[in-house]
Chain A
Amino acid sequence: MMEFDKEVDARNLNCPLPILRCKKGLSDMLGNQTLKIMATDPGSEKDFAAFCKQTGHELLQLDKTENVFTFYIKKRNVA
């Protein structure tokens, strides 16, 4: 079980809302804290990978169940 500091539920939302919720969720967190975010949008697997790559946040883990993606994202250290 992955530890996290904050949880955001973006299930049943479609592109680009999961990414926007993720960005919003990260905005008031500290560097190196971990956000857990769940999504059902089938495109979110690729989108979250691209989001993390571009923004410098680290995608620590992705759990896939039948139709839910759970991402654990470590916020970029803004030092």
Chain B
Amino acid sequence: MAKKLALIASKGSLDWAYPPFILASTAAAMGYEVHIFFTFYGLTLLKKDISDLKVSPLGNPAMPMPIPMPNLAQMLPGMESMATMMMKQKIAKKGVASIEELREACLESGVKLIACQMTVDLFDFKPTDFIDAIKFGGAASFFEFAGESDISLFM
């Protein structure tokens, strides 16, 4: 029987988009059956266009910066865009996969993507905002799979 991995993806920033998609695509490649439940800001990762994901240095003191920068400067207009641009350049230069690429790998290998119905309603998202290959579900549907999983992680 295939091992099972259940993930909850709750964050929608460029940096935090990586852990669920890296682990899910790798687990699927290793023969795991994988479900990811996307809730709150994690729902952003299921949108058709995810090219505008951002990373913010604000409230993120461990983020490596080229020069030390006080919080007050990090909130200036344009800082978030600059940090995002720098991160994307670094990602490309170091041969790290793009989020689009990892999400595609997940879909190709049969990872099931579930959107939290409650959050969809809460934020007034429309089903058409999202890629087609997803299902909608609630907490109970997460447990249906997670209860039989070998590994379950919240991120």
Contact = CB atoms under 8 A, between A and B. Distances in A.
Contact of A16 (B31, B94, B97): B97
B55 to A, nearest CB: 17
B105 interface: yes
B29 A51 contact: yes
A6 interface: no
Contacts of A13: 95, 97
Contacts of B97: 13-14, 16-17, 20
Give the size category of B's interface with A: 10 to 19
Contacts of A55: 30-31
Q: What is the predominant secondary structure among interface residues of chain A facing chain B?
A: helix
A55 to B, nearest CB: 6
A15 B22 contact: yes
Interface in B67-109: 94-97, 101-102, 105, 109
B10 interface: no
A16 B29 CA distance: 10
Most interface-central of A17, A19, A54, A55 (chain B CB within 10 A): A17
Interface of A: 12-17, 19-20, 22-23, 41, 51, 54-55
Given A17-B95, A17-B97, A19-B30, 11 more contacts: A14-B97, A15-B22, A16-B26, A16-B102, A17-B96, A19-B26, A20-B29, A51-B30, A54-B30, A55-B30, A55-B31
Contacts of A17: 95-97, 101
22 contacts: A12-B95, A13-B95, A13-B97, A14-B94, A14-B95, A14-B97, A16-B22, A16-B25, A16-B26, A16-B102, A17-B95, A17-B96, A17-B97, A20-B25, A20-B26, A20-B97, A22-B29, A23-B29, A23-B30, A54-B30, A55-B30, A55-B31
B26 to A, nearest CB: 4
Contacts of B102: 16
Contacts of A20: 25-26, 29, 97, 105
